[in-house]
Structures are given as structure tokens and as C-alpha cells.
Amino acid sequence: MASANIKQVAQHAGVSLGTVSNVLNRPDLVSPATRQRVLDSIAALGYVRNDSARQLRAGRSRTVAIVVLDISNPFFTDVVRGAEAVIEEAGGMLVVCNSGEDVSRETRHLDMLEEQRVQGLLITPVSDGHHARLDALVDHGIPVVLVDRGSGRPSRCSVAVDDIVGGRLAADHLADKGHRRILFVGGPMNIRQVSDRHAGAAAALAERGDKVHFAVHPTPSLSVAAGSQAADALVALPANQRPTAVICANDLLALGVLQGLTVHGVQVPDDIALVGYDDIEFAAAAAVPLSSVRQPREQLGRTAAQLLLEESIDNAKHSHRHVVFQPELVVRASSARDRNRRARG
């Protein structure tokens, strides 16, 4: 059954279309008795205000969109939660789109969101090669803020974590614990967060000279399944080539590696130590509590949303900012054991 329209409300209440419009938009201009009669008619007919049409006529929506890399990753769930709180406090609504780490899918989302004339866009891009498309959105009046990614340009706000520092934290921790064969598990490398975390770990271990062997095992995605497959590859290596420690580009990969090693009877951390990245809620609850590089997930979302609202509400006075948070290493059972001490014992 179709919902009632504004003309039917006016007829039911015995008033003009203008009076109904005033009740909806400027109720102070309507006498209390007439206003109540219109409201009663709205309730009786089940009229639902077509807010999207009104916003489109004004050329503006109260809807903000966020495009994330992987909605199944609890990291992004927390980022979205932080952004949503800020947008809802401002009277808007947040729509979540999942690119699935797929550039073509991300493009389709951006095209649709532009057609819908969203108020603004929060996005973690699949790659750094999409600036022209984002520039076009800005040119068409839709402000864009990058989330968990530095923008690399003064004309666009961004909120990120220093992932190079994060990679260094993980690598230095494992090297200090006596590990001399360390493997980085993660991919695709065109995702900036992955490449930065790898670069940070590589730089930290390079400073130790040839004392530490560092290798990379690329993965097709940042999922638990990809981590489990990486574990299969690890246990297939000869014992004298197998790494004694693994850094994963995110916690989902690390949980997959942990699961796979456990299936093969490899002990964590006795045989292989493990460090993840993000410190999602499941990290501490794993069968072997997972060491992880912590990011301020909800704060990333809140800060990005605040910057977006500042720009969309008062663009003339807005000053673009690039907020960079510092990560911290949370050490748990998966990497706490000191190999130097065990070797001496």
C-alpha cells in the first residue's frame, strides 16, 4: 500500500498545502490548534516525510557515507562506530559501503554516492591511485576525508596512524626477544597500510645489520583464510628455514596463522612467535592471546567525521588538517617468551 502524500494530508486536515509545509518545516508560523489538526492527520494517514526529495531540491543531503576496505574486519566496525556517533550527534545518518579491497567495486560505490549527493565522504581507498576520482567529488561539492590513510596533499583532510612506526614496534620487539628469522605476512602490497607496516619492520631490522633474516610472504587478502593458508606454507618449509617469528599485517591474518599453526601442531610462541596489527577485540580473546600493534580505532572514525562536518558546514573557514596518531605495541602470550633466555637456559 502506498503511503499518503502531502496533498492527502492537507485534504484530510482541511488546510492548504502551504499550511502542511509550515507544520513540517516552520511550525512556529502555525497556530497550536491547526498544527495539532495537521499532526493528527499525519498520524491517521501514516504519512512519511520524503526528506530525501526535500534535500535533493535544496542540493544537499544529511547523509554521510563511509567506504571501508573490509566490513567483516572488526577494525573497520570500530572505525564506523566512532564516525557514526559524531554524524548522528550532528543530526545526520551514516551509510556504510564495503569496497572489499576491489578498486572497481569502490568506483561503483563512489559513482552511486555522487548521484545521491551525499553530504560528505569518508573513505579508506583500496590504493593511492584514485585521487582523480576523489578530486572530482570535491569539485562537485562533496568533501572527502581519508580514514586510516594519509592524504599526501594539502587540499584534503586525512586521519591516519603512523604505520611505519607500527611496523618498527613489532619488528624491534621480536628482534629484542632473540628472533633472528622473522617473516612478514600480508598483502596486497598496493594497500598503503600493508606496505607501510612492512617498510617499518624492514627498516628496523636493517639497522641490525645481517643479524636478522627478514622475508615476506605475500597474501591475496587480509583475511583469516589467507592467514591460515600462509601457515600451511610455513610448516612446509624445512625446519632450518622456518621463521621463528611472524609479523602479520593485521589481526585477522594473525588469527588465521595461529589457527593454521595449531592445526599442524606448531606451538605459539614456543616454536613460532606471532604479532598482529590493529588489536581488535578478538586479539586478547584468542586461544593464545595475541600480541598486536594497537590503533585508536573509534578515535580514527570520530576524528575523521568531525573534520568532514567542519568542512561541509563551513567550507570557507575550514582549514585542511592531517591528523596522525601514534600506535602502541600490546605484548601478550603469543610473543612474550624470550628466546635469548631460553637458549642460555
8: cell is 492527502
Q: Which of 235, 236, 244 is nearest to 262 (CA)?
A: 235
- φ/ψ (deg, to 5) at 324: -125, 120
Q: Which of 200, 284, 317, 206 is nearest to 247 (CA)?
A: 200
Side by side, which strands form the sheet with 63-68?
93-98, 63-68, 120-123, 144-147, 157-161, 322-325
Res 229 pLDDT > 60: yes
pLDDT of residue 139: 87
Lowest-confidence region among 46-55, 172-181, 306-315? 46-55
**CA 158, CA 216: separation in Å to the nearest integer?**
29
* Residue whose cell numbers read 635469548: 340
Res 57 pLDDT > 50: no
**CA 318, CA 335: separation in Å to the nearest integer?**
45
pLDDT of residue 127: 84
pLDDT of residue 125: 92
Taking each helix axis from N to C end, the angle separating 32-45 and 6-13, rounded to the nearest 10 degrees, works out to: 120
The identity of residue 325, as a single letter, is: F
Condensed to tens digits (0 to 9), the pLDDT of residues 130-177 reads 678 898 898 888 999 999 988 777 788 999 999 999 999 999 999 999
Mean pLDDT of 214-219: 97
- Of the pLDDT bands very low, low, confident and very high (cuts 50, 70, 90), residue 50 is low
| Residue 171 C-alpha from the chain's centroid | 24
Asked whether the CA dihedral 21, 27, 28, 33 is positive or negative, the reply is positive
54: cell is 526535500
pLDDT of residue 129: 66
Q: Is 32 exposed, middle or buried (0-12, 13-18, 19+ CB in 10 A)?
A: exposed
Condensed to tens digits (0 to 9), the pLDDT of residues 81-128 reads 999 999 999 888 999 999 999 999 999 999 999 988 899 999 999 987
pLDDT of residue 60: 58
**DSSP letter for each residue of 196-211:** HHHHHHHHHHHTTGGG
Phi-psi region of 290 (alpha: psi -120 to 50; beta: other; left: phi over 0): beta
**DSSP letter for each residue of 103-157:** HHHHHHHHHHHHHTT-SEEEE--SSGGGHHHHHHHHHTT--EEEESS---STTSE
Q: Which of 36, 34, 52, 42 is nearest to 7 (CA)?
A: 42
- Of the pLDDT bands very low, low, confident and very high (cuts 50, 70, 90), residue 1 is very low
Do 71 and 96 contact (CB within 8 A), yes or no? yes
Condensed to tens digits (0 to 9), the pLDDT of residues 4-22 reads 788 899 999 999 988 988 8
172: cell is 624491534
Strands 328-330 and 291-294 turn out to be antiparallel
Q: Structure pTM?
A: 0.80
pLDDT of residue 205: 97
pLDDT of residue 341: 67
* Residue whose cell numbers read 604505520: 163
pLDDT of residue 183: 98
**CA 215, CA 231: separation in Å to the nearest integer?**
14
Q: Which of 241, 253, 141 is nearest to 182 (CA)?
A: 241
- Of the pLDDT bands very low, low, confident and very high (cuts 50, 70, 90), residue 219 is very high
Per-residue burial over 146-166, b if 16 or more Cβ lie within 10 Å, else e, is bbbbbbeeeebbbbbbbbbbb
The identity of residue 272, as a single letter, is: I
Mean pLDDT of 178-182: 97
* Polymer length in residues for the chain: 345
Give the angle subtended at the CA of 174 by the CAs of 344 and 233, to the nearest 5°: 105
Q: Which of 148, 254, 134 is nearest to 191 (CA)?
A: 148
- Of the pLDDT bands very low, low, confident and very high (cuts 50, 70, 90), residue 2 is low
Query: 159: which DSSP letter?
Result: E
**CA 246, CA 276: separation in Å to the nearest integer?**
9
Q: What's the whole-number average pLDDT of the chain?
A: 91
